[in-house]
């Protein structure tokens, strides 16, 4: 295999562990914390998880290791979308397992949960693991999005676990994947299989966090990657001085990525979906907000700018959410086939007009035709509109263009408007992890094995105090059920991990809010540049602006 110079050097990087985990396996013991309860719907969650609910949070501290000695055979999967650092979780897990007993075994199940169901795995050894240290991607064993949620699936997983002598399974994933981990852990405990289940918090969207999980892994690297690209575009815009760049970034259910990129790069505009929902902003209100910035800058002779738009923004607009809900009903059952069989767009337009309420059709009718058509592209597995396919960056630039035309005719706008469009998504999911993510992920994996060794199940590997240097990080675990509530999914009430949205009274948003009026008019761009892997710690090991503001770190 041909290796780049950077890849060769990254293989040799030695991730930093929390101070306590550096003591050596024999000098790590457990300190019990308080008993836990779910974030909401306590009685319902407790009834669904009688064997794993209400357990104590725990912290690893210095002391004599009191865990029972036994051979461990651990299975690990990567679940859901890629996030930088996943390989290091597996490397940390492997190193801790082998440091405890060189006879311990780590099996990597291929293709995510499907690997557990199909019994498709590889046994890791030193050479295999060493080829993936500190690298991006999930290609070590691949990933998948199959949900583990039925008794039939659990029966198969349990049978395969027994066949391979598994003592534990580690699931590396986001909120849905760790919901599956909690459910699988409950099944394994209820059926006395002896198989423990541990989760690790992953998602570049940043929405798997709370007072215990300060950040999900991958968020740091992905937002730094996007911020580098946005900074490059800002510099180009300030050089050419003739385009407004509308940049969509990942984050369907929450706007953490957009907010962090705004804090890093200080664009003229950044939409925050949670604020749009709270203020019940219409498409027209958002359009006018962006157009106001374009007008003021244009009238000052600055016919350029940058607007950051979160991927799922339209779902936060009340009128658009209502429109999507009506479209989902309009095409329910076999009506999709009926719609697709219509001869041309005019016929489809009439079908839509007759099927929507007058309020929703009024919203539909102001949309550019390409967005109208994107609303009727291939449905998701549940028959719903695939919001991620809607080019919201083009939607808003077109609507701003129309609004500016009116303002020019009215004589208030004297500038020129030209737009460029970008979507940054896959560019950040498999980047070489930053030093922070390399360290954090390695620590999560190492810590996951300590939870296994001490007999815990249904726990999430937890490393906290991560706004400080790594030797001050605190390792431990928390019951996954602590993060759960009941939500309506596909017509049924389901236990799920509650997504963390941008807090409008939180320090990161408040900082953004305090500066955005100035950024909207003044060219205040900052250029973060590429991720730094070598050099002073204050350059290479810094965390995100979001985490620094949340923890009051200067």
The helix or strand, by DSSP H or E, that contains position 515, with its residue range, turns out to be helix 507-521
Beta bridge partners of 35: 56
Nearest to 259 by CA among 523, 520, 504: 504
Beta bridge partners of 421: 246
Apex 300 CA angle, 297 and 305, nearest 5: 25
Nearest to 227 by CA among 262, 182, 200: 262
CA pair distance 188, 79, nearest whole angstrom: 19
Question: E strands of 136-258, at which residues?
Answer: 168-173, 196-201, 244-249
Nearest to 205 by CA among 145, 249, 143, 263: 249
Answer whether 166's CB lies under 8 Å from 194's CB: no
Helix (H/G/I), strand (E/B), else coil: 496: strand
Answer whether 501's CB lies under 8 Å from 254's CB: yes
**Other C-beta atoms within 10 Å of 239: how many?**
9
To 10 degrees, what angle do helices 507-521 and 283-299 make?
A: 50
Whose tokens are 């953004």? That residue is 512
**Other C-beta atoms within 10 Å of 156: how many?**
16
**Which tokens belong to 144?**
């998948």
Catalytic residue among 95, 114, 175, 205: 205
Answer whether 255's CB lies under 8 Å from 500's CB: no
CA pair distance 238, 253, nearest whole angstrom: 32
- HSE at residue 247, side-chain half, CA atoms within 13 A, is 30
Query: Has 41 been annotated as catalytic?
Result: no
Answer whether 224's CB lies under 8 Å from 231's CB: no
Nearest 5°: phi and psi at 394? -80, -35
Nearest 5°: phi and psi at 404? -65, -35
Beta bridge partners of 498: none
Please list the active-site residues: 205
């Amino acid at each position: 295999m041909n290796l780049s110079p950077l890849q060769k050097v990254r293989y040799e990087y030695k991730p930093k562990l929390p101070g306590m985990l550096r003591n050596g396996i024999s000098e790590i013991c457990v300190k019990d914390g308080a008993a836990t309860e779910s974030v909401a719907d306590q009685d319902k969650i407790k009834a669904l998880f009688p064997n794993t609910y209400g357990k104590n949070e725990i912290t690893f501290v210095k002391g004599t290791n009191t865990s029972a000695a036994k051979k461990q055979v651990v299975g690990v999967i990567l679940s859901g979308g890629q996030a930088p650092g996943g390989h290091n979780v597996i490397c940390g897990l492997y190193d801790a397992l082998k440091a405890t007993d060189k006879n311990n075994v780590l099996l990597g199940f291929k293709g995510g949960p499907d690997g557990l169901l199909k019994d498709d795995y590889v046994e890791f050894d030193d050479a295999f693991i060493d080829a993936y240290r500190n690298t991006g991607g999930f290609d070590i064993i691949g990933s998948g999005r199959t949900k583990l949620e039925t008794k039939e699936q659990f029966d198969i997983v349990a049978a395969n676990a027994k066949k391979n002598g598994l003592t534990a399974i580690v699931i590396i994933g986001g909120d849905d994947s760790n919901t599956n981990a909690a459910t699988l852990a409950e099944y394994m405990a209820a059926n006395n299989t002896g198989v423990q289940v541990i989760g690790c918090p992953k998602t570049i969207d940043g929405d798997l966090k709370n007072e215990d999980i300060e950040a999900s892994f991958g968020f740091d690297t992905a937002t730094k990657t996007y911020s580098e690209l946005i900074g490059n575009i800002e510099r180009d815009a300030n050089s050419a001085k003739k385009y407004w760049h509308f940049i969509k970034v990942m984050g369907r259910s929450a706007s953490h990525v957009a907010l962090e990129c705004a804090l890093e790069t200080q664009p003229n505009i950044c939409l925050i979906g949670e604020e749009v929902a709270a203020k019940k902003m219409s498409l027209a209100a958002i359009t006018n907000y962006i157009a106001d910035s374009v007008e003021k800058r244009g009238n000052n002779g600055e016919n350029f700018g940058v607007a950051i738009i979160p991927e799922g923004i339209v779902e936060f607009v009340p009128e658009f959410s209502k429109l999507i809900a009506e479209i989902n009903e309009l095409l329910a059952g076999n009506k999709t086939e009926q719609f697709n069989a219509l001869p041309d767009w005019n016929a489809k337009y009439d079908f839509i007009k007759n099927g929507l309420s007058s309020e929703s059709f009024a919203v539909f009718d102001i949309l550019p035709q390409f967005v109208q058509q994107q609303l009727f592209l291939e449905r998701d597995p549940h028959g719903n509109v695939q919001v991620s396919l809607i080019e919201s960056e083009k939607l808003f630039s077109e609507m701003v263009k129309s609004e500016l035309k009116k303002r020019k005719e009215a004589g208030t706008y004297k500038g020129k408007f030209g737009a460029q469009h970008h979507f940054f998504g896959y560019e950040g999911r498999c980047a070489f992890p930053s030093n922070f993510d390399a360290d954090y992920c390695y620590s999560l994996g190492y810590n996951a094995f300590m939870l296994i060794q001490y007999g815990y199940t249904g726990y999430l590997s937890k490393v906290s105090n991560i706004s400080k240097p790594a030797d001050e990080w605190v390792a431990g675990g928390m019951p996954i059920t602590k993060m759960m509530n009941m939500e309506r999914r596909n017509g049924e009430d389901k236990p799920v991990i509650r997504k963390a949205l941008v807090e409008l009274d939180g320090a990161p948003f408040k900082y953004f809010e305090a500066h955005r009026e100035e950024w909207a008019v003044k060219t205040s761009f900052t250029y973060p540049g590429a991720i730094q892997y070598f050099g002073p710690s204050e350059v290479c090991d810094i965390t995100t602006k979001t985490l620094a503001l949340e923890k009051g770190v200067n």
